[in-house]
Amino acid sequence: MSTHSTFLTPDLNDYLVRYFSAEDDFLRQLNTEAEAEGIPPISIAPEQTAFLQVLIKATNARTIVEVGSLAGYSAIAMARALPPDGT
């Protein structure tokens, strides 16, 4: 997993970590198992995931297309931000 965000300001990063923690046990385990299987540990950072989830909810997105998924971490996290009728 990435150890830091590349596009978030320090203030935005701190805010997201404090109020929108997106990583749970399932996603942590997914990264652990992916790394054990030899998948490079370059997944999106938890604070970037939180930022994407905020954007998805703020824009009332109903559909998400992810092109290229490493182990599915960000796809799962984004899907969780969709409303029940989202795809």
pLDDT band at 5 (very low <50, low <70, confident <90, very high): low
Chain-centre distance of CA 72, in angstroms?
Answer: 9
Domain ranges of the chain: 10-81
Rounded Cα gap, residues 52 and 46, in angstroms: 10
Computed over its alpha carbons, how large is the radius of gyration of the chain? Answer: 13
- The pLDDT of 50-56, averaged and rounded, is 90
Q: CB-based burial of residue 51 (10 Å sphere; 0-12 exposed, 13-18 middle, 19+ buried)?
A: buried
Predicted structure pTM score: 0.77
